[in-house]
Copies of this chain bind each other. A is one copy, B any other.
Amino acid sequence: MTWNRHHILSLADFTPEEYNTVLQTAASFKEVLSRRTKKVPSLQGQVVTNLFFEPSTRTRSSFEIAAKRLSADILNFAASSSSLTKGETILDTAKTYLALGTDIMVIRHRESGVPQAIAAEMDRLGKRVGVLNAGDGQHEHPSQALLDLFTICTLLNPDAPKCELLAGKKIAIVGDILHSRVARSNIWSLTASGAEVHLAAPPTLLPPEFAQYVGSAERLKIHWEIEPALDKADFVMTLRLQKERMSQHLLPSLREYHQLFGMTRDRLRLCQPDVKILHPGPVNRGVEISSDLMDDPAFSLISEQVTSGVAVRMALLYLMGSSSKIGGTG
């Protein structure tokens, strides 16, 4: 197992070895979660701070329970009730939490680049605190893509999830690609794992430049209709549609979106018979996916994704915590 990353900010430069380290570590924590006492002392006495400048329930709860199961202490910072309203800069807020004793900062912000800027400042100050990007603007959401990867690889081989299991698999990503940090992180991890990634969305939500996103037109195809993306797909990742896209005139209506790009039983027939559907949640039932399909355990991996998220986030916090002690170069 190799790991010498201090921060987890983007998957753009992740190596297959690093993906596999995360997958293996998450697998061992998944085993811990099946025990009666789902807790290990790995991060006892360490402080994980959730610096959420953008509201979040699901991701924050997932990191919180992951940190608690590693026996860390948690500080939750929510922008609404904060000094930000008192004119403090974001970097000063981060430095305050550093000085309070934070070992790992989990950061979400609606502007792209904020976690990177904080990580750079921590490095400049010579501090060993680790920074984890929990979603920055429309840029990246690495832990979500890693839990998607873990969910898929664990399905393919529960005993030994490895990213190489994705070689040759066809994976469709359907929805608001343009505004999705989840899609961007997934594009990196899936193409690096050898999968063939097909993006599908209306042209307003999928500019042609996306074909060059990972630099290789071979592994990434774009479609302005859903059907070719689904054709013999092994996995379909549906993305959450922000309702504000209507008011921005990027989409006519939710109903039309569902007709053209919603995942339904009819469209299931285009895919492989054992196709599985993912969604990062929260789901707009009947928009991105039909309600009955979402609830069908034969096809939906949505609950598994949430459960995988705890194991994967335990793995990330654990690896960052170890790196900060054994001296990563991240």
Which of A's residues lie within 8 Å of B, judged by CB?
33, 35-39, 44-47, 55, 57-58, 61-62, 64-65, 68-69, 73, 75, 77-78, 80-83, 86-89, 92-93, 95-101, 243, 281-285, 303-307, 309-310, 325
Give the residues in chain B near A98, CB-CB below 8 Å.
303
Please name 5 further chain A to chain B contacts, defined as beta carbons within 8 Å, in addition to the given A61-B100, A99-B306, A100-B309, sorted by A numbering.
A38-B47, A45-B69, A58-B96, A93-B282, A99-B303
CA distance A306 to B55 in the complex (A): 26
Inter-chain contact B87/A61, CB cutoff 8 Å: no
A-B pairs, 4 with minimum CB distance: A37-B45, A99-B306, A88-B282, A83-B282
CA distance A293 to B318 in the complex (A): 37
A96 touches which one: B64, B97, B306 (CB < 8 A)?
B306
A57 touches which one: B58, B77, B101 (CB < 8 A)?
B77
Give the residues in chain B near A93, CB-CB below 8 Å.
57, 282
Inter-chain contact B282/A86, CB cutoff 8 Å: yes
A307 touches which one: B46, B73, B101, B325 (CB < 8 A)?
B101
Inter-chain contact B61/A310, CB cutoff 8 Å: no
A38 touches which one: B97, B101, B307 (CB < 8 A)?
B101
Give the residues in chain B near A38, CB-CB below 8 Å.
45-47, 101
Inter-chain contact A101/B285, CB cutoff 8 Å: no
| Contact A282:B92 (CB < 8 A) given known A47-B65, A69-B73 | yes
Inter-chain contact B282/A101, CB cutoff 8 Å: no
Give the residues in chain B near A99, CB-CB below 8 Å.
303-307
Give the residues in chain B near A75, CB-CB below 8 Å.
61, 64-65
CA distance A125 to B303 in the complex (A): 12
Inter-chain contact A81/B55, CB cutoff 8 Å: yes
A310 CB to closest chain B CB, in angstroms?
Answer: 6
Inter-chain contact B44/A101, CB cutoff 8 Å: no
Inter-chain contact A283/B88, CB cutoff 8 Å: yes
Give the residues in chain B near A80, CB-CB below 8 Å.
81
CA distance A29 to B39 in the complex (A): 24
A154 CB to closest chain B CB, in angstroms?
Answer: 14
CA distance A73 to B67 in the complex (A): 11
CA distance A35 to B101 in the complex (A): 12
Give the residues in chain B near A89, CB-CB below 8 Å.
285
Give the residues in chain B near A47, CB-CB below 8 Å.
38, 65
Give the residues in chain B near A285, CB-CB below 8 Å.
89, 92
CA distance A178 to B53 in the complex (A): 33
A262 CB to closest chain B CB, in angstroms?
Answer: 15
CA distance A243 to B88 in the complex (A): 12
Q: Nearest B residue to A98 by beta-carbon distance?
A: B303
CA distance A325 to B92 in the complex (A): 39
Give the residues in chain B near A284, CB-CB below 8 Å.
87
CA distance A44 to B69 in the complex (A): 10
CA distance A67 to B82 in the complex (A): 20
CA distance A185 to B98 in the complex (A): 26
A39 CB to closest chain B CB, in angstroms?
Answer: 4
Q: Nearest B residue to A241 by beta-carbon distance?
A: B87
